[in-house]
Chains A and B, each alone.
Chain A
């Protein structure tokens, strides 16, 4: 009954490869996010989708492409992986209610990506 799940938990790959990380939420939320946490624990938003529509797209290389097949899933595909992509990637979800502020975001357990 995990609320936000991610697969895989660990991902070790070579530079230049293409990889995907999957995220699913069973909370019935409308909005999903991808965050990147670097080696110093700093967290930064990458993307946000609301009902399968991209609403936040921070300054992220276009090698990163999010895909949302339905509102319960938001996958992250990364092309031509580079050493600097090594990080922990977190998926999150929230219920977006435009008349209400401060909706809690629920985070997945993270995917630890190591590019060699």
Chain B
């Protein structure tokens, strides 16, 4: 079945540091790929997505590129802020059924 593996946390960074969270997937079809973010005490929000190979999703300074050859969708941000502290989930969707990775907790210190 479809599955997502993402880098385990927790990850602790200083403000303005570079963030990367690795995500790889296994799928039988041609899934769409997502990054969702969950701020403390809240529900999930879509951060960015890509629906086909070589697409790049971007939002709020975050980027991820759909790499079919390496089955990856790594999340990056060049300069993190304290407000980026959250849990980040990589997910894939096949026919609207979302399969999530285990989540990576990111803490950014001032």
Where the two chains meet, the residues of A that have a C-beta atom closer than 8 Å to any C-beta of B are 4, 31, 33, 40-45, 48, 56, 90, 92, 94, 96, 101-110
Contacts and interface: CB of A to CB of B under 8 A. Distances in A.
A44 to B, nearest CB: 7
10 contacts: A41-B87, A41-B103, A41-B105, A44-B100, A56-B97, A96-B96, A101-B30, A104-B34, A107-B44, A109-B43
Interface of B: 30, 32, 34, 36, 38, 42-46, 49-51, 87, 89, 93, 96-100, 102-103, 105
A110 B45 CA distance: 12
A94 to B, nearest CB: 6
Contacts of A106: 46
Given A42-B102, A102-B49, A109 B42 contact: yes
Taking chain B's interface residues, is the majority helix, strand, or loop, or is none over half, making it mixed?
Answer: strand
B102 A40 contact: yes
Nearest to B33: A102
Given A42-B103, A90-B43, A104 B49 contact: yes
A102 B103 contact: no
B89 A43 contact: yes
Contacts of A33: 98
A63 B102 CA distance: 26
